[in-house]
Amino acid sequence: MAYLLSARKYQSSDSVANSYDQWTNDGILEFYWGEHIHLGHYGLPPQRKDFIAAKHDFVHEMVRWGDLDRLATGTTVLDVGCGIGGSSRILARDYGFAVTGITISPQQVKRAQELTPEGLNAQFAVDDAMALSFPDASFDVVWSIEAGPHIPDKAMFAKELLRVLKPGGILVVADWNQRDDRIHPLNWWERQIMRQLLDQWSHPAFSSIEGFCELLAETGLVEGEVITADWTQETLPSWLDSIWQGVARPEGLLRFGIFGFIKSLREVPTLLLMRLAFGMGLCRFGMFRAVRADANPQDFSGTIGESLVRSRSL
């Protein structure tokens, strides 16, 4: 019981891995959230949508926003912090990409592999986003949804995401961020809310949209400007919808019993605080797109090729 109610503070990558291993093994998160551990996209203005359908829509909206739908079959994608592979499978199945998903959680890798049908071009491995095991310029696209808040060193995260990208390749990131406190400092109440949001779900820190944009630019690996967007409004209904799932799907109670019920119930205050923080502008849902600069113009061997660009008419 004490374990159920204790905070899950960030301690190290291992504590994040342990948290996700437990959330994966008990099956509760997957039962309610499906294969996607991220918010849904409800349009602008937000419309009523099925909770899981909104998550699928999020992936397609992110593909469109990132201008990835023009890329050809076989485009190589690294999904950083892939969870149990929901996005990776959509990218492989619906866009024909060759996807490698990495997560810090061994149990997520196991579950992602179980959920991936044979023949689908999606593979999974344990790896650390702060020290990726891939050589420089390995992928045409690097993609990441909601992994950043678990990463303590955001500058290293930014560098690693761009390092493994081929020159001309595209980085697309979707993340929870906090308001830029350099411009508008947090008051006492806001600091208490942020502390809870960090400690409950193993987050060392949230960056701001402006701050992470600067970190990407400061790597010196970005061609032109980093493009950002704020999808707070489009994703906001997810928070209350996720609480509603517990009411709308009472069969979860039978399936996971009293411990499952308590475990789910303990998430409700954090979900409400998240809704409050995103609703009042303390947190913001940030989107980031960057193109990898051509580090060495003589070396075209690792460059994303014209052959990978699919004609829009196809």
Which amino acid belongs to residue 259?
A: F
* Interface stretch with ligand SAM, choices 111-119, 122-130, 204-212, 219-227 (CB under 6 A): 122-130
Residue 103 within binding range of ligand SAM, rule CB under 6 A: yes
Q: How far is the CB of 10 from ligand SAM (least distance, A)?
A: 9
Which amino acid belongs to residue 95?
A: Y
116: part of which helix (H) or strand (E)?
Answer: none
281: part of which helix (H) or strand (E)?
Answer: none
* Interface stretch with ligand SAM, choices 102-110, 226-234, 266-274, 301-309 (CB under 6 A): 102-110
Q: 123 vs 295, which CB is nearer to ligand SAM?
A: 123
Q: 232 vs 303, which CB is nearer to ligand SAM?
A: 232
Residue 108 within binding range of ligand SAM, rule CB under 6 A: yes
Round to the nearest angstrom and report the end-to-end CA distance of the chain.
56
Q: How far is the CB of 77 from ligand SAM (least distance, A)?
A: 13
Q: How far is the CB of 242 from ligand SAM (least distance, A)?
A: 12
Q: How far is the CB of 256 from ligand SAM (least distance, A)?
A: 20
Residue 13 within binding range of ligand SAM, rule CB under 6 A: yes
Query: Binding residues for ligand SAM, how many (CB under 6 A)?
Result: 24
Give phi and psi for 298, each to the nearest 5: -70, -25
Q: How far is the CB of 251 from ligand SAM (least distance, A)?
A: 23
300: part of which helix (H) or strand (E)?
Answer: none
Which amino acid belongs to residue 311?
A: S
The binder of ligand SAM chosen from 8, 10, 16, 164 (CB under 6 A): 16
Q: 87 vs 242, which CB is nearer to ligand SAM?
A: 87
* Interface stretch with ligand SAM, choices 100-108, 265-273, 295-303, 304-312 (CB under 6 A): 100-108
DSSP string covering 164-222, please? TEEEEEEEEEEEEEE--TTTS---HHHHHHHHHHHHHTT-S-PPPHHHHHHHHHHTT-E
Residues from 271 through 300 that contact ligand SAM (CB under 6 A): none
Give phi and psi for 69, each to the nearest 5: -75, -5
Q: Is 224 helix (H, G, I), strand (E, B) or coil?
A: strand
Residue 96: exposure state from Cβ atoms within 10 A (0-12, 13-18, ≥19): middle
Angle at 291 between CA 288 and CA 296, to 5 degrees: 145
Residues from 128 through 147 that contact ligand SAM (CB under 6 A): 128-130, 145-147
Residues from 201 through 240 that contact ligand SAM (CB under 6 A): none
Residues from 26 through 85 that contact ligand SAM (CB under 6 A): 36-38, 81-83
How far apart CA 245 and CA 33 sit, in angstroms, is 8
Do the Cβ atoms of 138 and 166 come closer than 8 Å? yes
Instruction: By CB under 6 A, name the binding residues for ligand SAM.
Output: 13, 16, 20, 36-38, 81-83, 86-87, 102-105, 108, 128-130, 145-147, 150-151
